[in-house]
Structures are given as C-alpha cells and as structure tokens.
Structure 1
Amino acid sequence: MSSKKGTDRLDDFDEVATGHGIPATYQDLQGTVQNVPTATRALMLRALGKVSREAVNLSPPRMELDETTKCYLPTFLEKEKVWGISLQLYELTSARSWGLGDFEDLKTACEIAAAAGADFIGLSPVHALFLSQPNRCSPYSPSNRKFLNPLYIAVDTLPGYEEAWVDQDALATLRETEFVDYEGVTRLKLPVLRKVWQASVDAAEATAGRETFERFRSDAGEELRLHALFEALSLAMVERGHGGGWTDWPAEFQSKDSDTVKRFADDHADEVEFHCWLQWVAAEQLQEAEHCARSTGMRIGLYFDLAVGEAPDGSSSWSTPELVLQGLRVGAPPDVFSTSGQDWGLVALSPTALKAEAMRPYAELLDASMRFAGALRIDHAMGLWQLFLLPEGETPAVGGYLRYPFQDMVATLAAESHRRGTIVIGEDLGNVPDGFRDMMVKAQILGYRVLYFEPVEEVVGSPAVSHLSLACLSTHDLPPLIGWWRGDDIRLARQFGLTGESGAEASLRERQERRTAFIRAIQEAGLSSAAVGSISEPAGAISEELFVAMHRLLARSPSITVALRLADLVGEDRQTNVPGTSDAYPNWRLKLRLPLEEIAGSSLFQCVVAAVTAERPRQS
C-alpha cells in the first residue's frame, strides 16, 4: 500500500486489531520479537465477530488484581505441606475392571492413597471424548469439557447389571492386553450399558432413581440434550460411513438447528435419552469417588485437570458454535524445544462471546469440573491472559497471540473456586508473559513446578520458588523417573524423527549433567551416599536408593503441595505420551504392569511414601 489512503486503512486496521487484543508482534521464548502476519490478525478479528473501532479493554493488557480475585485456599495449607498421587485413570488395572480403569478403580486408588498418608488423587482430564471413535483417546482433545467420558463407568456395580450379559472371553482378553483396547472396551461396554439402562426404565422399583435422573437432566438443561444428541448422531454417522466429528457429516446434519437434525432427534428420542442417562450415571459414580476420597481422610480429595480447548469437530463446537473462535487452532510458537512450533488441534472460547455473556459460559465450564474436585489444574494457565492461535491448515510460524480479559477470567475463576471450595493450580510451563507468575501468586493460583526442569540449586528451600505451587518430578509428556534417568525420551525423539542426531547427542549430554547435579544436591542434603561416578554411563540405571532420594528431594521443595506419579511408585519406565507422535507410539494406552490389588504391598511404593511422609508429616 503505497498511497496515503492505503496507509490510513492499514493504520485503521492495526488500531482496531490491537484494541481488540490482537498485537502485531510477540516475544518468543528466546526473547526475539516476532511479527504476526496481517492475514492472521485479520482472521482473528473476523473470528471475534462483530467488533467496533472502540477498544474492548484487552490491550494494552492489564494485570490488576484485588481481594475479589483471590482463589480459594484452605487454612491448613497456610501452615502445612501436603502430598498426593497423580495417575491416568485408564491405566489402572484390577481383577474386576474391563480392560480400562474406571470410577470404581478410582475409589480403590483413593483408599490406597489415603492409607499411605496422601491428601489427594490427581487425574488427567476425564472429559467426554468420542464414543463413536474410541481411538481418539487423548484426554486433552475432548469433544466436550462439560461432560464426562462414559467409558469410565463401572458397569458391574450398577443396579440391574447381570453378568450373563457379558462375553466373558472378550472380557478376559481385554484385561490381559498390554495396552488399553479402546475399541474393544467400547464394543463390550456400550451394549451392556444399554441393557442396564433399558432394565432401569422397565423396572417398577426404579421410580426414585428415575426422579433423580430427571432432576439431573433438568438441571443440565439444553446443553446436556445437545451433547446427547451429538453422541447419538455421531454413532449413527459412523455406521453410515462418515466420521465421528460433525465436520465430516453431510451438510444437513452440521447444524443443530436444521430440520434434518430435529427430525433425527424426534425419531431417536430413546437413543438421546440413553446418552443423557450415561452422563447421569458417570456423574453419580464420580461423585461417589469424590465422597470416597473425602471419607478416607484426604483433605483435598480429587484433583482434576481442565483441558485448554476442545476438538474442532466435537460436541461443544457443534452445540455452541457461537462461543468458539472458528477457523483458528490453539498451539504454541516455535522455540528451541519445537523448532516448527505446535498445533494442538483445539478450538478456543471467544473472549468477545464470554464478555457478551458476562463470563457465564466460563463459569459453567469451571463448575462442571469443580463440583467434583478439591483442586483443579488449569492446563496452559497462560490462557487466562492470552492464547497462541494459528489459522486452520497453516503452520505455527504464521500464528500470533490473542489477549483474553484477564481480570474477568481470574475474577470468575476465583468466584467459582470459593463457591465450590476448590484449590486452583495453573500449569505455567512454556512461553510465560512477564509478570504473569506474580499475578498467579496474587490470585492464589498455585504454580506448577516440574523437578526435571527446575534449576537444581533452587529445588530445595530457595526463596525464588514460590511456596504457592505444586511440585512434581515430571508430567505425562515425559517418562517416569526410571526412563528419564536413562534418557529414554531423547532416544524416542530420535527414533521418531522429532530431533536430529546432533540434537539427541546434545540432549543426552545435558541429561548427564542434570543427573550429576541431582546427585550432588542429594549428597549435600544428606539424603544418599551414592557416588556421582555411579551414573557416568548415559544409559545407566538409577538405583533404588537414588530413586527414593529423588522423591525425598522433591518432598523438600518449598511448594505447599507435591504430586507423586503413580507410574513412578510402581516402577514403570514407559512414557505415557510422546508429543508429536500419533500411531508410532501407544499414546494414552499404556496400562500399569502392577494391578491395584498389589500396589499397597509393593516395596518400592512403601519406601517412597515413607520417605515423602517423613519430609511432609501430617499435622492435623
């Protein structure tokens, strides 16, 4: 645009875009200022919907908080450090479950953890996925965050269940597989759940249960009906050869308001009611698990995870398309860990839609998890402030940030936190804006400290590490301690082409340095007599003494909460998820080799929890 008029138009666009929280540049993780293409900013502006020239108070961003924006924090955490156990629900194995951990297994895990002195059980998201496509099993790519995954229902504990309805050979096979067979579990569970539902409808004595179900359905309202309708449609579409997500359906089914969809809903009213019933049963069983956690003496109870967004073709974007940013995907900019950046394949809520409804959709989203949770972890907590978005089908290189109404987001989070008595944890890893962690402290949002990444000299007793945080050894995207110590994640990255030979060699050298630094810290703290030379080989195995000492070091963190990974406590070495892979690795499918019935008696489990309890004795 060389003309004065063209320049004016560009300046006008820049003013409007910036005023609506779409800056022209951003600073990456290395501190380099990156330009955002005008086309990307224009797409973001269109996705926000009707906008005016007037700024909406998103940019320049504000981080002003007061007493009304402090999240709930129980008084016992003001004087006491606690610990808990994190796990993947599906990974649990038992003599009674159906090849995938369920809500009854969760109750057993709560009993084991509470007996060991834990104050919480932490779970990856249990959001609704796609029943019609069970292999879409990532808990962080949900169809709808307001509803639950029915595959976690413990069918055998339901009133009216009959063992004769189950193919015992198929059940035995599902229990014996090394990896979770989601398709097999769905084929077995769903027909039996239909029979239990039909039996409950037919039974004369089901009146009280029916009343409770109808009350649940009334309280959940139209969104439950639409989610159930989506599930019914999704299963029907897959049977007809289409995909499970609505973007793969014929055009007449892609809008919830179409006459074709309304006719389907009328013709399949029983099927829609069945999917409403599944949500009721899942909620009832999860509530029972939460009650079990509390009744066993755990003061925090269940600790849930809220995914950062939802699948673009799922129930949520089909039911409430006006709430999401169409044509954009959530991701992360290029950095030293991922030179091409990341496309997480998720859609995000629209900040203008949230503000137009006085943040009500966000409050309802939070409540969907907080009603069951003593603590809630916000995945990618920087989303309270901004999200990195890229155009659908493009690479992260052309992405940019969109601001969110930070003060409104945090005020809503705080209000829901106090209403439900739920602690809030913010996963603050990655490109963290300047001042963001200070605001987390002011808002009483616990930070997320991963020992693998922390400067070793700051792990124990450092004033630089806020006590308002949750500390852990690792996340689901990294190997358990045994595998990390060997550098398994680095070798997998090289095997799958996620890093080159030279990059892998550099990472292995860095891992060696990290191991040595941890050993020195352990020695200086008097936690082990092991020699540094004992880990001189890159592929060296960690001894049990060092393994326990690493957990004791973790327990000495200034953080008021510490999460031990169940996979570590039972001696697993395999990575739950390898980011950047799909079919090349069994992501979200690995079962624990040790069944629930044997965990409490495991010597490794006993040694680690004894060491952690010694560092964090319960005072009340």
Structure 2
Amino acid sequence: MSDASLASLARAAGISTKWTDAHGIPKQVGTEALHALLQSLGLPALGEQQIQASLAEQQERLRRAAAGPLLAMVADQAVTLAGRFAPGTPYKLILDDERRLHRRLDHNACITGISQCGYHQLLIEDQLLTLAVAPPTCQSVADLCGRPGARVWGLSTQLYSLRRPGDCGLGDTVALEQLARQAGKLGADALAISPVHAMFSASSDQYSPYSPSSRLFFNPLYAAPSRVLGEDAVKHAVNECGLEDELARLETLAFVDWPAASAAKQKVLRCLYRHFSFKSNELTQDFDRFCRKGGIALEQHCRFEALHAYMLQHQQTPNWQQWPKPFRDPNSTAVAQFAIEHAADVSFHMFCQWLINCGLERAQSVARNSGMAIGLISDLAVGADGSGSLAWSRQSELLSAITVGAPPDIINTQGQSWGVSAFSPWGLQEGGFSAFKDMLRANMTHAGGIRIDHVMGLKRLWVIPEGASPDMGAYLNYPFATLMHLVALESWRHQAIVIGEDLGTVPRGMRGELAERGALGMRVLHFEKNAEGFIPPEKWPDDALATTTTHDLPTILGWIAGRDIEWREKAGHRGAQETQSDRETRETERAELKTALRQAGELRCDQEEAVEQLDACIGFLGKTPAPLVLLPLEDALGELEQPNLPGPGNIHPNWRRRFTVNADYLLNNASVQGRLQRLSEARATRERESS
C-alpha cells in the first residue's frame, strides 16, 4: 500500500488530509485516522487491493451524484450540463408559474438567462430534472425592514427557560408569544430562540436541543394545546389524568425536570388526542390538511416515534440500526404493517406535530403584529442523532457510522465530538438535496430568520469515526456552492434572513463567501480583540450580527465574575494550575474591556460595578455597524449563569435553567427596560449615521 494510493482515495472521498488549526498551525491527518475514517465511510483501505476496490466504489458514488436530479444556479448566470448532455441539446423548462420555455444548451452545454427565482422543471432528452434558480443573495435585514441601512436589535432566548402558569414545567409557545409581544412594544425587531427540533418522545433523558432526532420536525413538548383546543379542554385533560399537583410542582422548579415534565405533558397530550373530535369541523379539517401537506416525510417521522417507543417497551435497543432487520428500512412491509396495527399511535404523533406547528405559527404572527420586522429567528442544529428519525428515514442522504465534532481549538483544547450524524455529500447530490431542502423549509416556515449552527459545515465538517476521540477526525468537504444556492433560494421564498454561526476554526475566505451571499456572520464581544485589546465598536464588521455572548459562553456578569472559570474547574475540564492561569488572563481582559468601554464613551471612570459594565457593554454593541444586534435574555436580565457549559460530564445543569419571573413580566423591570432603551437609542443613532 502506497501513501499516494491512500491519499488518492481520501481525495476521492472528499477528505482533506491537511488542515490549519485555530492557532494557524498546519496539521496532517495521520494514517491511522485516515484508515478509520475511510472504513466508516464504507471505503476499507487496509491494503492496495482494498484501496483500489474502494476507489472504484467511490468513483461510482460520484458518478451517480453527478447525475443527480437537481441543478442549482444563480439567476441570470449559467449552470453547466457538460459531460451529461451535448452542446445544442434541446430542452424544455417549465417555470414554477407554469410558463414554458423551449431552448437549447449553448456552445458550452450551459443553461443561461433564467432570471426568475424558484424551483423549475427541466425536461431534457428523456430526463426530468429540477432547476433551482436562486437570487444572488439571501434576504437582508434591510429587505425585511424596508429601509436601506437598517440597524436594528432583538433578543435571544432559550425557549425552555421561559415560564408561565400552566406550562407543565418548561417554556412553551404561549410564553414565547408573551415575550414577543413585550419585546416588540419595546422596539425589538427580532426574537431568536433555541432549537425546537423533534427529540425522542420515548427517551425523555435526551434533551440537548443540539442533539435532536430530526431537524425536519418539532418538539411537541413546546406546544401549548390550549391555544388550539381551548383552555377548558386542557383543564379537563389535566383533571382526568390527575396531574394538578404534579404540574404545580414542576412549574415551581428552578430547573427543568425533563423526564418528569415530558411524562406529564405527554399524558396530557394523549388525553387531548383521545377526546379530539374527528367529526368534520374547522379543527379536524385543519388537522387533515396538515397531515396531507406533511406527506410521506411526516408519516415516516411519526412511524419512527411509534416504533421507537414500541422497541423500548419491549426491551429492544433504542438505536434503529440494531433493531430487527425488517424494521431498519422505513419503506419495508414490516414497517407498513406496524403502522396499520398501531395507527392510533402514529396518528397521535401527527396530532402532536400539528399542535406545535400551530403554536409556532401563532408566535411568529404575534411577533410580527407586535411591530417586529423579522420576528422569530429559528436555530438550525448542525446535525441530528444518528439513532433518530432523520437518520432512519433518510439513510441514503446521511452517513451512519461517523459523528460530527470539532478539532482542538482555543476554547476546547481536547476537541469536541457532538454525537450527531452528518449528511453524505454524494448522497445529498444523488437524492436531489431533498433532506437539506426539507430541513431549511421546516425551520423557515414559522420564522423571519434562521441561524445555522456551525455554518462551516456547509463547506466542511470535522467528522470522527463513531466511538473515536476527536483527534482521530478530519475535514470532509461538501458542495458549498450548491448548498448556499439553496439557502439563498429558501431565504427568498420564506422572506427570512440567514445567520451563519461562524465561530471556531473557520476556513480561510469563508466569511467573505458568506458575506457575498448575504448571510450574516456572528461576532461575540468576548472574541472581538486584537493586539491592542478590544476592538472599538466602529471597527466591527457590517456583515455580521453582534452579540454579547452565546449559550455556550458566560453571560457578561458571569464573565466579569469568572463564573465560567469556576465551573470549568468544578467540572474537571481544567486543573488548578490552568485555572489560576485563566484567572490571571481574565483579570487582564477585564481591565482591557473597561478601557474599551470608556474609550467608546459607554463607561465613566467612576463606574466600577459589574452591572454598570454590563449596561456599558450593551451600549457598546449598539454602536457597532452590525445590521442586527442580538442581546441574550440572560444579559438583558443581568443573569450570572450561562445555559450550557460545553465539555464532558453533567455537573453543570446544561439546558435546564429557568427564569424566575413569568414571561409576561420578564421585561417589566426598570433596569431591564433601561438596558433595552439604551440599546434601542444606540441602534437608532447608528442607523442615522449610516444613512
């Protein structure tokens, strides 16, 4: 076996054997890691004979991918069909408004001159293809606000953290409505929320919003059925289930008790389903329309939910890859028969999806009617659990034997393995990118914006063989241009801005590419530094949103107090010597931040209190040229603790903290309103200066 042969196979598989880490140091993927990765991709490479056989297999995959049923292009530009069809080949284009165009490929075998955006049908020779024509850029903040140079602000929140009476122990869409209504009245134009992807209803101990079962559907635990079925129906269900005392207990807890809250909420939902009138009326007609529109994708997700619960009840593994073989295929006769025998269970999960969709739709309507130009911004997780619904139903478009993560970087020195599966680059192409398109549509349908977690994954993902450590990974490359065409097209179709979370190890030039396509990057106060200290607000970029922190980082007050340093030591992520070094570094950074705040005119020399520095940070961000400033609710409220502490262990209460005040009063505090007013005024001043 030669190194050249192994490298050739790696290139054909889309693996980068060389990369540059967060410190700018060139790295080389080791031979052992390459062997393990290729094996996980179904390309064994332990000898020359295996390598050549795997190379032939991968070349066949690439051939099928190149012949995939979707072509993507930018309006008024060209897309080539060279290698598939000869120059001059006649074709018919059926536009999505049903107009028909009869043309021929040009001398370069290209299609040109299509100005109308949308998904069009291309008939050429004996093939029917989809032509996705995208606008040059995604929708912008200015587009949605209706004025050039708009400089606006919004809040971001963890949905489960919101609190209201009758919420069954975790935030729901009614609490979201209440917050949106308040924020809109105070001048906010956006409200970003944590992921609401579908989890595992039968495994309530799996609740990280970034490890969902499917990114195509939603988590019914966030549903507020009273908004659809009425308060009386919910009260009757709670009484019938005998849950009054349990719900009262859950609603007073400082942290979400996910297993107990899930069990209680599902009992209520099942009772509501049993009493749901299936006689024809407005509600049942709406439910029927929802099910028809959801089609096979909704059917398969709900079949998975029923199957998953059945397998757990019968002492089977929760991982579908280890189920009895007939049930591993969503299209098998065994699965179809199961769905018939358990039709009520499958229908129940459709009912739950209907309720949460109604709730999210209403929350966005409330946000927009409260004066928000953007409204809700959804959060798209970077992947889904490989044992979940998406991986089961879209097997040809996902890679089942690898997990996604990140190489060692400045924050996570050991690297990260996130335990989620990745799309297959060639599987996506061969399948016409259907899973990717469906995912974008699901998460833009009830929102005016979408945040794409780890947006670098559209270009490359750090993939790791299942069960291996992060340092055994490598970057797998993706068809970035086509994926961005589809992102821009769906942004245009849904009138939604696109935010790319570009923190960590970012490929050279990628931020510029995102900016060219109109996708906002993210800039976080903690990280916006250079050799002189914190970057002045006027020198921040105008192609990225600005924020004080993220869910994985300390709040401003937590950062000032070194609370994150304490937690990392307590959780065993850092030793005593490293912790002492962290504290010394933080002391220097605190002094640098105060200097920057004073130079920006946001902090007086006599202001030393942490809360005064918090207020100054908010004013500081308001002065940046960012089109959008998102203020996490934790910082608006002056909270000390952060939602999530990345890294091993479960000492920190990740994804469980709840706010102490009900959602409809969260923003009523004078200090909170003072911060939001300060931000709003700074934004208005910045917009006037930029116009």
TM-score for both structures, normalised by structure 1: 0.91
Deviation at 1:242, TM superposition (A): 3.8
Distance 1:597 1:424, change over 3 A: closer
2:394 counterpart residue number:
320
Deviation at 1:53, TM superposition (A): 7.6
1:172-220 alpha-carbon deviations (Å, 9 max, x no partner) = 1011111111222222221221222222234x4x522222222211221
Deviation at 1:45, TM superposition (A): 4.8
2:620 counterpart residue number:
553
Q: Aligned partners of 1:44 and 1:172: how far apart in 2?
A: 48
Helix, strand or coil at the partner of 2:42: helix
The residue type equivalent to 2:211 in the other structure is S
| Counterpart contact for 2:535–2:596, Cα < 8 Å | no
1:611 counterpart residue number:
678
| Counterpart contact for 2:211–2:420, Cα < 8 Å | yes
1:186 counterpart residue number:
262
Q: Aligned partners of 1:572 and 1:313: how far apart in 2?
A: 36
2:458 counterpart residue number:
384
Q: Aligned partners of 2:656 and 2:200: how far apart in 1?
A: 16
1:122-154 alpha-carbon deviations (Å, 9 max, x no partner) = 011100011111121111001000100000111
Aligned with 2:572 (options 476, 497, 514): 497
| Counterpart contact for 1:381–1:426, Cα < 8 Å | yes
1:523 counterpart residue number:
598
Deviation at 1:526, TM superposition (A): 2.0
Map 1:214-229 → 2, pairs under 5 A: 214-229=288-303
1:26-60 alpha-carbon deviations (Å, 9 max, x no partner) = 221122222223304523653799521897899xx
Deviation at 1:251, TM superposition (A): 4.6
1:289 counterpart residue number:
363
Q: Aligned partners of 2:179 and 2:285: how far apart in 1?
A: 31
1:307 aligns with 2:377: no
Q: Aligned partners of 2:414 and 2:234: how far apart in 1?
A: 53
Deviation at 1:459, TM superposition (A): 3.9
Map 1:133-212 → 2, pairs under 5 A: 133-159=203-229, 161-166=233-238, 167-202=243-278, 204=279, 206-212=280-286
Q: Aligned partners of 1:606 and 1:222: how far apart in 2?
A: 47
2:10 counterpart residue number:
17
The residue type equivalent to 1:510 in the other structure is T
Distance 1:19 1:236, change over 3 A: closer
Deviation at 1:250, TM superposition (A): 4.5
Q: Aligned partners of 1:175 and 1:41: how far apart in 2?
A: 46
Helix, strand or coil at the partner of 2:205: coil
The residue type equivalent to 1:547 in the other structure is L
The residue type equivalent to 1:503 in the other structure is E
Deviation at 1:530, TM superposition (A): 3.7
Q: Aligned partners of 2:653 and 2:614: how far apart in 1?
A: 26
| Counterpart contact for 1:130–1:244, Cα < 8 Å | no
Aligned with 1:596 (options 660, 663, 670): 663
Helix, strand or coil at the partner of 2:191: strand
Aligned with 1:51 (options 58, 61, 68): 58
Query: Unaligned 5+ residue runs, structure 2?
Result: 44-53, 67-72, 78-133
| Counterpart contact for 1:92–1:595, Cα < 8 Å | yes
Q: Aligned partners of 1:11 and 1:156: how far apart in 2?
A: 64
TM-score for both structures, normalised by structure 2: 0.82
Aligned with 2:555 (options 432, 456, 480): 480
Question: Number of residues paired by the alignment?
Answer: 596
Helix, strand or coil at the partner of 1:132: coil
The residue type equivalent to 1:566 in the other structure is L
Distance 1:81 1:507, change over 3 A: same
1:232-279 alpha-carbon deviations (Å, 9 max, x no partner) = 122222223345442464555333244443332111011101101111
Q: Aligned partners of 2:400 and 2:157: how far apart in 1?
A: 33
Aligned with 2:195 (options 122, 125, 135): 125
| Counterpart contact for 1:216–1:280, Cα < 8 Å | yes
| Counterpart contact for 1:84–1:120, Cα < 8 Å | yes
Helix, strand or coil at the partner of 2:643: coil
Helix, strand or coil at the partner of 2:559: helix
Distance 1:584 1:247, change over 3 A: farther
Aligned with 2:350 (options 276, 290, 308): 276
1:42 aligns with 2:42: no
The residue type equivalent to 2:666 in the other structure is I
Deviation at 1:452, TM superposition (A): 1.2
The residue type equivalent to 1:39 in the other structure is H
Deviation at 1:578, TM superposition (A): 0.9
| Counterpart contact for 1:69–1:410, Cα < 8 Å | no
Query: Unaligned 5+ residue runs, structure 1?
Result: 1-5, 59-63, 535-541
| Counterpart contact for 1:572–1:593, Cα < 8 Å | no
Helix, strand or coil at the partner of 2:281: helix
Aligned with 2:546 (options 471, 474, 484): 471
| Counterpart contact for 1:40–1:400, Cα < 8 Å | no
Deviation at 1:454, TM superposition (A): 1.0
Q: Aligned partners of 1:213 and 1:434: how far apart in 2?
A: 48
Deviation at 1:156, TM superposition (A): 3.0
Aligned with 1:352 (options 426, 441, 460): 426
Q: More deviation in 121-130 or 510-519?
A: 510-519
1:458 aligns with 2:535: yes
Structural RMSD (CA): 2.4
Q: Aligned partners of 2:182 and 2:512: how far apart in 1?
A: 36
The residue type equivalent to 1:477 in the other structure is D
| Counterpart contact for 2:520–2:543, Cα < 8 Å | yes
Aligned with 2:633 (options 566, 581, 585): 566
Q: Aligned partners of 1:351 and 1:452: how far apart in 2?
A: 34
Q: Aligned partners of 1:344 and 1:466: how far apart in 2?
A: 30
The residue type equivalent to 1:451 in the other structure is L
Distance 1:222 1:544, change over 3 A: same
1:26 counterpart residue number:
19
Q: Aligned partners of 1:370 and 1:244: how far apart in 2?
A: 30
Deviation at 1:224, TM superposition (A): 0.7
Distance 1:245 1:459, change over 3 A: farther
Deviation at 1:93, TM superposition (A): 0.9
Deviation at 1:285, TM superposition (A): 1.3
Deviation at 1:356, TM superposition (A): 1.4
1:589-610 alpha-carbon deviations (Å, 9 max, x no partner) = 1101222233232122111011
1:429 counterpart residue number:
503
Distance 1:234 1:19, change over 3 A: closer
Q: Aligned partners of 2:138 and 2:17: how far apart in 1?
A: 33
1:537 counterpart residue number:
none
Helix, strand or coil at the partner of 2:505: coil
1:345-388 alpha-carbon deviations (Å, 9 max, x no partner) = 01001110111133232122101111111111110010111001
Helix, strand or coil at the partner of 1:83: strand
1:339 counterpart residue number:
413
Helix, strand or coil at the partner of 1:441: helix
Q: Aligned partners of 2:452 and 2:296: how far apart in 1?
A: 26
1:432-467 alpha-carbon deviations (Å, 9 max, x no partner) = 1111111111111101001011115424111xx320
Deviation at 1:78, TM superposition (A): 3.2
